[in-house]
Amino acid sequence: MADTGKQYHTKCTGPALKTVENHVNSQAITLYGSCFCPFVQRVWAAFEYLGIPYRVNEVDPYKKPKELLEVSPKGLVPGLKLHEYNPPRGLNESTVILEYLEAIADNTTKRSLLPPSTNPYARALVRLQADHVNRTLVPAFYRFLQSQDTDAQIQNGKDYHAAIEQLGELRALKSGLGLWVEGGDLGLVDVMAGPWLLRSTSVLKHYRGFSLPEGQKFNAWLERLFNHPSFKATCSDEQLYLDSYERYAFNRPNTSQVANAINSGRGLP
């Protein structure tokens, strides 16, 4: 397979495009995001599920427009602009934004991605799972996709597969958490891991021949996740992801701050 020079997309397609079109009016919160970014998608799905009003502003994070830098000094997406303050304030980093949205929803829509506050231990277990996603699963995804040497691809593929299996094992030990259980609803770990699992079925399958772990419970979880209205509403068509991630698959120089961090062995920005 050769690098065809495809570039990243700057506008959503498919269901995500319809969601953008439904969120163009001014609101107290503006979400700055990019259509291909999984860190944006986890926040976007949370907005949809929690029912918090917002406006979408699609930006090109590689051109780092002024309005993005005002809310995210590194020029990374997602970023929030909070218009309730005078002057407006900014917020960035997807996990921090998720915490913020949880607090907003607790005072307004009364929806939550977490188990009830009456079960603090269950909440702690969810935090452990979310930590595994950020520390292990996400970096393993990029190491696998960016590796060019065949032996490195094989090893990194095994590592990523193991990270997913470990997430499944962590989820299997708990009950009543998110979509892992039949009849459950969208949870924090679902939105934390979902964007990378979705890209595993397209990007990693296409560029690395990757197959997700098999298992009745795991497959059922993915089906519930990918078809959940709040998650599906943030998904673009597969071709957008295939085009946008070609630069990662061939590890082009300065693909992104994330790619540079992986190549240098540093933690994600």
Domains of the chain: 14-107 (3.40.30.10), 120-264 (1.20.1050.10)
pLDDT of residue 177: 73
Q: Counting every residue, how long is the chain?
A: 269
Is the pLDDT reported for residue 257 higher than 80? Answer: yes
Is the pLDDT reported for residue 170 higher than 90? Answer: no
Is the pLDDT reported for residue 176 higher than 60? Answer: no
Hey, which residues does 79 pair with through a beta bridge?
32, 92
Share of the chain above pLDDT 90, in %: 90
The token pair at 26 is 């001014």
Task: Check residue 135 and report its DSSP letter.
Answer: I
> CB of 141 within 8 A of CB of 197?
no
pLDDT of residue 159: 98
Q: What is the mean pLDDT of residues 28-39?
A: 98
pLDDT of residue 1: 87
Is the pLDDT reported for residue 173 higher than 80? Answer: no
C-alpha 40/C-alpha 47 separation (Å) is 11
C-alpha 45/C-alpha 192 separation (Å) is 10
Beta strand 55-58 with 79-82: parallel, antiparallel or unpaired?
Answer: unpaired
Is the pLDDT reported for residue 172 higher than 90? Answer: no
pLDDT of residue 122: 87
The side-by-side arrangement of strands in the sheet containing 55-58 is: 55-58, 29-33, 79-82, 89-92
C-alpha 177/C-alpha 155 separation (Å) is 31
Is the pLDDT reported for residue 76 higher than 80? Answer: yes
